[in-house]
Structure 1
Amino acid sequence: MSEVKENKEVVEEVTATVEEVETATEQVEVVVDENEAKIGELEAKLADEEARYLRLRADYDNLARRSKLDREAAEKYRAQSLLTELLPVLDNLDRALQVEVASEEAASLYKGVEMVFKQLLEATNREGLEVIPAEGMSFDPNIHQAVMQEQDSEKEAGTVLRELQKGYKLKDRVLRPAMVSVNE
């Protein structure tokens, strides 16, 4: 009987060990589940942070691109305010050159004004100032400002008949549209 008793004890020990192993296995499974949940949570946080990083990087790239474009525009149009202030000077010199001169003294004064005007025009042209073509052109509201209409049967409707004030543009930007009279 002792053998049976020994076997019962062994069976009880094995049963206890199996129960301990099952309990330990359940605990390990719980820990594994918790760890998998934490891993999933951390992966989600990582994905959120990566998306945030990508958005921030895109914002930074956009800011850098905009800043570069702003710097280029500032460089391209750096003389705009000065040239805008010089437009009335160009107009007045142009009007002065349209006066008929009769005397020798007036002719020398005219020649001096003409030289100053040409020099000023060359300097402004080097900065990118251009005269907007008007007379004989088709009316373009982007570069012309119609202040009156006239009738000329020999020309097409919408054609600029007269330029009343010169228009100017700096590179591709209109500083002042040409004031014109348009054919009806």
Structure 2
Amino acid sequence: MDTDNEQQGHTAAEEAEVTASHTEEAPEADASASAGNSELEQLRALAEENNQRYLRTQADLENFRRRTRQEKEELAKYASAKLLEQLVPVLDNFERALAASKDNRDYDSFAKGVDMIFRQFEQVLTNEGLAPIESVGQPFNPEFHQAIMQVESDEYEEGTVVEEVQKGYTLKDKVLRPAMVKVSS
């Protein structure tokens, strides 16, 4: 029986020791699990915050694109407004000249009036950056000239513009319309 008691005592002692060790480990395990959960929650919150930030940025980008597209459309729609404001007085002067020509048959003053309107019109176009291309006497340049025919000429060297059939124009630094010319051969 002593052996049974010893075994039971030993077993009871082992059980007490195991129970004590579990009791000590349980707070550590709980603390570790609690720390893991807390860190996991922080990471989830950070991920959600980053996702929200991403969605806001995407929405801002879409709004920016929409505003930019609308501004571009509006700019294209009203781009000619400034030019037209300058041309309206020219139109008014043409209307006045035509009305005056019906009442008065003085063609000299009509011609002078139309010439003044033409100069006013030219000035508006020049202010906007339109410039005629100088052609006659210049070497043929396919960037500025469109040759419509070649002619024999004693006055000009070969490859030189002899006659301008239709004026060409540049707008600032870009060719708006090449000059139609005759070139010496």
Amino acid at match of 2:133: P
Q: Of the two, which has the highest radius of gyration?
A: 2
- Count residues in correspondence: 157
CA–CA separation in structure 2 for the residues paired with 1:115 and 1:123: 13
CA drift at 1:134: 3.1
SS at match of 2:134: coil
Q: Residue 33 of structure 1 is aligned with which of 33, 36, 47?
A: 36
User: Unmatched 5+ residue regions in structure 1?
Assistant: 1-7, 87-104
What is the alpha-carbon distance in structure 1 between the residues aligned to residue 161 and residue 73 of structure 2?
Answer: 36
Looking at structure 2, the residues matched to 133 and 167 of structure 1 have their Cα atoms a distance apart, in angstroms, of: 5
Matched, 1:19 2:22: yes
1:19: how far off?
Answer: 0.8
Equivalences for 1:131-146 in 2 at 5 Å?
A: 131-135=131-135, 136-146=137-147
The CA deviation at 1:106 is 5.8
Q: Does 1:148 align with 2:149?
A: yes
1:3-152 correspondence to structure 2 within 5 Å: 15-50=18-53, 53=56, 77-78=80-81, 79=83, 107-126=108-127, 128-135=128-135, 136-150=137-151, 152=153
**Hey, what does 1:90 align to over in structure 2?**
none
Structure 1 residue identity aligned to 2:157 = K
Distance 1:138 1:45 in 2: 70
**2:182 corresponding residue in structure 1:** 181
Residue aligning to 2:169: 168
The amino acid of 2:134's aligned partner reads A
* Cα-to-partner distance string for 1:44-94 (whole Å, 9 max, x where unaligned): 4444554555566566667767777777777765427x97xx9xxxxxxxx
Identity among equivalent positions (%) equals: 27
CA distance in structure 2 between the aligned counterparts of 1:70 and 1:138, rounded to whole angstroms? 42
Which residues of structure 2 form unaligned runs of 5+? 1-10, 91-105
Over aligned residue pairs, what C-alpha RMSD do you find? 4.7
Q: Tell me how far 1:41 sits from its aligned partner.
A: 4.0
* Deviation digits for residues 120-160 of structure 1 (CA, Å, limit 9, x no counterpart): 3234334x152321313455555444433445574363x43
SS of corresponding position for 1:43: helix
Match of 1:99 in 2: none
Larger deviation: 28-37 or 167-176? 167-176
CA separation in 2, counterparts of 1:72 and 1:171? 20
C-alpha distance in structure 2 between counterparts of 1:142 and 1:50, whole Å = 53
Cα distance change, pair 117–51 in 1 and its aligned pair in 2 (3 A): same
Q: 1:49 to 1:112 in 2, by over 3 A?
A: same
- Cα–Cα, structure 1 residues 63 and 14, in superposed 2: closer, same or farther, change >3 Å? same
